[in-house]
A = this chain, B = another copy of it.
Amino acid sequence: MLSRRYLPSMPSLLALEAVERLGSASAAAEELNLTQSAISRQLQVLEGQLGLSLIIRDKHRLRLTPAAQDYCREIRRALQALNQASLTLRANPNGGTLNLAILPAFGMHWLAPRLARFAAQHPEVTVNLSTRLQPFDFAISHFDAAIHYGRQDWSGVDFLPLMAEDLLAVASPGLLKTPLTQANDILSYPLLQLESRTGDWGRWLAHHGHPNQRPPAMLFDQFATMTQGAIHGLGVALLPLFLIERELAENRLTPVFGPAIPSLGSYYLVWPKDAAPRAPLASFRNWIAAERNA
């Protein structure tokens, strides 16, 4: 339960936050369209209410104590959440909001082109997209749902498969002087790999008859940068087909050896199993379930 007694007032929190960020009461006053006097008093009020001193007044400079800096970190996050929630509500007074975590590559290539249709069908829902590179625990995030890649090895969630993935070994057309005659030859080139998918090259080699290898590779955190690396001749990359159709068509990337092989994981829409049902999520689920078949 929230007790009114220990919650500081909004102006005092804003004052502290601005002072911490801007380094002086005067600067904070300017940002908040107040006088320096107001800031000074709010800081005193806050210290009085919390019953401790937050600020070391040292030769007419304001310095926050370490504890106050920690405190500031927390309240800033909370204030931003309040601000964001209020702005979202103003922007969209009738419908709901859907907070969706996406994978950057999938979001750009698969979801983005389709999302306009969802927005048209459900103008009452505002979709907030936020990019995450890794699966995460819904219990500590504020997302209604997420796009994950993997093998359904998540717990406490329901999911809906969206798309399988095929991986093709590609490189810049200039990289290979002569075509490869066997898969193993690829080891003489630098290999590019996603840091979240470190087994892929081993699987690719096994698929072509060279099991139990775990070749070293340059690591990238996102497909986008890895694709750019491959285009610029950094090495051979194992990339999802759906991401590089254009690069292949325009001959900026070219297959190196063999056909595309199916990826170990797939893309899923994932949402927490025990969350209270919400209309925006239900709409989105229904829409995406229809969309993935289209």
Residues of A that sit less than 8 Å from B by CB: 1-4, 6-11, 13-14, 17-18, 31-33, 50-52, 65-68, 70-71, 74-75, 77-90, 92-97, 101, 132-137, 139-143, 153-156, 195-196, 198, 221, 278-279
Separation in Å of the A27 CB from the closest CB of chain B? 12
Interchain residue pairs with CB less than 8 A apart (9) = A7-B82, A7-B86, A65-B94, A77-B142, A78-B78, A78-B85, A136-B137, A140-B140, A153-B196
Q: Which of B2, B31, B139 contacts A79 (CB 8 A)?
A: B2
- Which residues on B sit within 8 Å (CB–CB) of A71? 85-86, 88-89
Q: In the docked arrangement, what's the CA distance between A88 and B132, Å?
A: 30
Tell me whether B139 and A132 are in contact (CB under 8 A): yes
Besides the known contacts A67-B93, A78-B81, A78-B82, 14 further A-B residue pairs in the complex with CB atoms under 8 A apart: A2-B80, A2-B83, A3-B83, A4-B32, A7-B83, A13-B82, A52-B93, A65-B94, A71-B86, A75-B81, A81-B81, A134-B136, A140-B140, A140-B143
Shortest Cβ gap from A10 to chain B (Å): 5
If A2-B83, A93-B67 touch, whether A137 touches B139 (CB-CB below 8 Å) is: no
In the bound assembly, the distance between CA atoms of A94 and B70 in angstroms comes to 11
Across-interface contacts of A31 in B (CB, < 8 A)? 1
Q: With A17-B2, A82-B78, A155-B196 in contact, is A66–B7 under 8 Å at CB?
A: no
A31 and chain B: residue at smallest CB distance: B1
CB of A140 within 8 A of CB of B133, answer no
**Complex: chain B residue closest to A21, CB-CB:** B1
Which residues of B have CB within 8 Å of A96?
66-67, 70
Residue of A9, A74, A90, A221 with most chain B CB atoms under a 10 A cut-off: A74
- A133 near B155 with CB under 8 A, answer yes
Interface centre among A1, A10, A33, A279 (most CB of B within 10 A): A10
Give the CA-CA distance A90 to B110 in the complex, in Å. Answer: 49
> Could you tell me if A85 and B75 are in contact, using CB atoms closer than 8 angstroms?
yes
Measured in the bound complex, the distance between the Cα atoms of B277 and A93 in whole Å is 41
Is B82 touching A51 in the complex (CB atoms < 8 A)?
Answer: no
Min Cβ gap A164→B in Å is: 21
Given contacts A133-B137, A134-B137, A155-B133, contact A97 B85 (CB under 8 A): no
Does A33 contact B4, Cβ atoms closer than 8 Å?
yes
Q: Which of B50, B81, B97 contacts A77 (CB 8 A)?
A: B81
In the assembled complex, the Cα of A136 lies from the Cα of B101 at a distance in Å of 13
- Tell me the smallest distance from the CB of A173 to a CB of chain B, in Å: 30
**Nearest 5 Cβ contacts at the A-B interface:** A74-B85, A52-B93, A78-B81, A78-B78, A140-B141
With contact pairs A74-B81, A142-B77, A155-B196 given, residues A89 and B52 touching in the complex (Cβ less than 8 Å):
yes
